[in-house]
Amino acid sequence: PVLTFNRVQIEVQPSVKVKNGAPMSIICHADITKSTDFPLKYNFTIFKDGKLVLMTVSDKGHAQYEIPLARSSDTGEYECTVEAGGKIKSSNSLHVWVTGMTKPILTAEKKEVLEGEVVKLRCELPEEAPPLDFFFRKMKMNSTPTVKHIFEAYRNFSEISFSVEEGDNILQFDCYGRRNVKLEFESSEHSNTTLVIVREPFIKPTLNAKPSSNITEGDRIQFECSTVVARMHEIEIILQKNKKILKGVRDEKLLKYSTVATLEDSGEYLCKVEQGRASKTTKLNVVVSELFPKPILSASMSKLDENKELTLSCSISGFQKANFSILRKNSNGDILLKNSRNLTMRVNVNDTGSYICKAEVKGIIKESKPVRINVYAPVSKPTLSVVGGLPEVVLGKPLQLICRSVMGTPPITFTFHKGNETKKIVTNDTYAMFLDANIRPNDKKEYKCDATNNHSSGRKTSNILNITVIVPIRNASLGSIPYGEVEEGSEAAFLCSVKEGSWPIQFKIFRKTDREVLLFEKNENADRVMWHKKAMNRQDTGTYYCMASNRANVDVKSRPITISVILAAWRKGVIAAFVLIPITGAVALTLWWFFCKKKK
């Protein structure tokens, strides 16, 4: 017998979308063509999401997988495979969606809790398959529900805790679930509502101020904070002002705190009772009236010369009876000068500083604003000098001056003058700098500086500083007499000169052959120098040049000249005589011999 599969098909009844709780059938059909009518066994296998859910053998061309009550866990991809006559064929996959989720079940660990404790909840979707989202709600009267969300990837239940806060009385909780199907979200209905009763571990504290919350500074004020508590264990009462803890007690129902009132004690006080996680607070506003205003310190002068008289006076507006003291501010603690409202003293420079006065009435001490007193010593006559050297400067170069005043209370104002022109004003402690950036040929060369401060003696002026301007060497040249050729043994004169340059000038004359040789060196208060070489010889032949420099520290080199030393005239005559006499004698002897022979 021969057979062939036409197709294998899967379908769901009543439809691919089934309501939760409704019956559902998954049917697999096999369409086969046979060569003859012979009996055939069909092996059906049905899968959901790749997992086997039904395997059956039938002599009919279809098989059915029955689900009496469909649940959301039955949602998935279904397909079937048929084996017959040694041949196998599979259907296409079919997505089935069971809409709607089962109602979740919510349980609470306790039905009655205390403030500060936590309520532990468990929400379960028993017939649903993870992954699932769980949402828990905490509800109380006249308040928006508090919602918490937890994602569960591997289980169909979730657990969570809600803290019980102050003011919680009767709480209601519920939950619901949500799942994701083909990128669409589906939510369950809300669970049963669970009721939790909240009881107070202690009542809201009571905060009182005695004798009153309106009090005058200098009076004693006492705070009392109390509560009623169910059990004393771990109860704590704390009194605060501006987040600063003033006092705290443990395992007691009453806190007392007493102090002498000052203006700084005005404000809001907070009494807090804590036990475990529970906390309750009560606030009280306290107003402290001023007993007397802050004292005022006045000075006869705020800036004065040393050895002058200074008077400090302390007073309170509209108030006379007080204990006064005058002090000088110091980083290591204020220094008491006198227990009185008035102080007169002759000052020196060391008395410069800030002064205050204090007034005491009924144990309340108040401090005035500080008064700054500056005592000045006169400036000494300033000295003006060149930074780092002599009172001279190279033409075209910068000149830096420093003006110092050894004595005098800073700040000191320094004024620099060049000739009759004011160039710069600087305020500093003991010295000031001035830079004359570019000295020009026609600049005035007289400088001075003034120094002054807040002392009444006025301005002091330095001595005049005369600056020597050094002109650098320019255009050195070298000449000789005779020029070019010099007879051996004769005298030669060399003249080295410069076109411009401040005196003294250092002149040097060199001869250069295969090496440079210094022949002459001299410092001269002139723009030229002459050097005489008494007897020239053949070794003096060579190239000559001169070099000039002064305090500008710039060496200027002349162009070279060439000197050749030649033989003297008398030496040439002697050489000629020694050469010509033998020649003449030889010629004469030859002629005599010739005439004698001819005669014969």
Residues in the chain: 600
pLDDT higher than threshold 70 for residue 74: yes
State yes or no: pLDDT of 594 exceeds 80: no
Whether 573 has a pLDDT exceeding 70, the answer reads: no
Q: How confident is the model at residue 576 (pLDDT cuts 50, 70, 90)?
A: low
CATH entry 3.90.700.10 includes domain 3-99: no
For the segment 414-437, the average pLDDT, to the nearest whole number, is 88
140-163 per-position pLDDT tens digit:
888 889 999 999 999 999 999 998
pLDDT of 574 reads: 59
> Is the CATH number 3.10.310.30 carried by domain 296-376?
no
Q: Tell me if 509 sits within 8 A of 497, measured CB to CB.
A: no
CATH numeric code, 202-286: 2.60.40.10
Distances (CA, A) of 389 to 395, 448, 528, 575: 16, 17, 28, 65
CA distance 111 to 582: 160
Q: Give mean pLDDT, residues 526-545.
A: 87
Q: Which CATH number fits domain 105-199: 3.40.50.300, 2.40.340.10, 1.20.1630.10, 2.60.40.10?
A: 2.60.40.10
| DSSP summary character for residue 321 | -
Mean pLDDT for 274-279 is 81
Q: Is the pLDDT of residue 61 over 60?
A: yes
Fold matches, 3-99 and 105-199: yes
Residue 592 tokens, joined: 């005599």
User: What was the pLDDT predicted at 107?
Assistant: 93
Please tell me the class of the 383-470 domain. Answer: mainly beta
- Print the SS3 string covering 18-46: EECCCCEEEEEEEEEEECCCCCCCEEEEE
Q: Per-residue pLDDT averaged across 231-256, rounded?
A: 88
Amino acid of residue 243: K
Comparing 320-329, 569-578, 588-597, which segment has the lowest mean pLDDT?
569-578
pLDDT of residue 568: 65
For domain 475-569, the CATH architecture is: Sandwich (2.60)
Q: Residues 463-490: pLDDT tens digits?
A: 999 988 888 988 999 898 888 888 888 8
Q: How confident is the model at residue 382 (pLDDT cuts 50, 70, 90)?
A: very high
Question: What are the extents of the domains in the chain?
Answer: 3-99, 105-199, 202-286, 296-376, 383-470, 475-569
